[in-house]
Amino acid sequence: MREPPDRIGRLPEQYFTALLARVAAAAAADGEPLVDLGRGNPELGPPEHVVAALAESAARPDVHGYAPFSGLPALKEAIAARYGAVYRVDLDPTREVAVLPGTKTGLMEFALSAVEHGGTIVLPDPGYPDYFSAVALAGAQHVSFTDFDIAGDAMYLNFPTNPTASAAPAGVFEHAVDWARRNDGWLLHDFAYGDLVFDGREPQSFLAAEGARDVGMELFSMSKSYGMAGWRLGFALGNAELVRRIETLQDHAFAGIFRPLQEAGIAALTGPQDSVEERRATYERRRDRALASLDGLEARSEGTFFVWFRLPEDLTVEQILVEHRVALAPGEGFGNRGTGWARLSLAVADETLDSGLERLRAAFD
Ligand SMILES: Cc1ncc(COP(=O)(O)O)c(C=O)c1O
């Protein structure tokens, strides 16, 4: 068989595909049923009115053809209105918003649209593993973020952070904008967990920082705020030139998103918003339970639906999986600096979380 082209060959092993396979193999082995706290797959679905909007729209005969390639204008207006109301950011929906089939796509499209082959992209370490994939796909190289003196052509930021569950430190976006100006570089802020912040913090959009849209864009996902992960809907917002490049790429690679899905997205963004707060509060309550249970370990979570904690020295994630039947996401897959740490997901039913925590306590005793 012929070798694959380099752009396929250089893609790293997909972290979550490998993790799911490992967990499935462990689940199939003899032993107690596995408790899976490894995967960040929201277990709380969207509110009923959103599902009803999808069903009603799909029942119409006129919605099954190709939707406009660049998305419904009303959907762009709906997300721009939400940005105004929630994050106090004023966006032009016609120039500063692109509709995406999930923000994971946007992670790839940003690298392809912002950086030349051979360029350098600065990534968080530990950080979301798909950033490595985006860099590889674009034929770029990555360096781990150290401080804002680092050189590069583009930088990925992510607050609240997967996997470390950190909220944005004060001033970080302003420093990033300054970095982009000095380096003539582009910024991408991955805001996938934007609304999921704890302890009275306000959601903080990168685009609220002065000059942000001159040098970068932000990704907003419907997956976490509205429990619509499987629906595949998100947005790239901010710099009009990057938005245009992304829409150009999508004109070539996709042919729009199913209209009923977009109409249900409008219903989610413009209808009652209480589910967003309920979801946030649910994760905060579970976070409290998890931190109390991991007492004595170095553990933290200021947002997202994860807890990031340092493993006891004598234990690995693999041992916890095999011997204690709890799946966690191993820290080293998120970057070298994740070694010795693990990510625990709160996006599971309360009973699942409780039984997982009980087993972890037994493992750490
Ligand atoms: C940090 C981060 N960014 C982006 C994504 C992708 O989200 P989606 O493609 O569902 O919008 C995820 C999903 O888990 C994530 O954790």
Summarize pLDDT for 174-209 with one digit per residue, the tens.
999 999 999 999 999 999 999 999 999 999 999 999
Q: Per-residue pLDDT for 19 more than 90? A: no
**Percentage, residues of the chain above pLDDT 70:** 100
**For residue 339, what pLDDT is reported?**
96
Start-end of H helices in the chain: 6-9, 15-28, 48-58, 73-87, 103-114, 130-137, 172-183, 212-215, 222-225, 240-253, 259-270, 274-293, 317-324, 350-364
The closest-lying atom of ligand 1 relative to the alpha carbon of residue 221 is: 11
Lowest mean pLDDT among 10-14, 114-118, 324-328: 10-14
Residue identifier of the C-alpha nearest atom 12 of ligand 1 = 192
Cα three-residue angle 301-303-308, rounded to 5 degrees: 30
229 lines ligand 1 (CB under 6 A): yes
Q: Per-residue pLDDT for 15 more than 90? A: no
Reported confidence tier of residue 322, pLDDT bands at 50, 70, 90: very high
159 lines ligand 1 (CB under 6 A): no
Mean pLDDT across the chain? 96
| Other C-beta atoms lying within 10 Å of the C-beta of residue 125 | 17
228 lines ligand 1 (CB under 6 A): no
104 lines ligand 1 (CB under 6 A): yes
Residue 104 Cα to ligand 1 midpoint, Å, equals 6
Token readout for 236 is 């790239």
**For residue 31, what pLDDT is reported?**
85
**For residue 7, what pLDDT is reported?**
87
**For residue 177, what pLDDT is reported?**
98
Residues 6+ apart with CB under 8 A from 258: 63, 67
Q: Per-residue pLDDT for 2 more than 90? A: no
Q: Per-residue pLDDT for 23 more than 90? A: no
**For residue 246, what pLDDT is reported?**
97
Q: Per-residue pLDDT for 30 more than 90? A: no
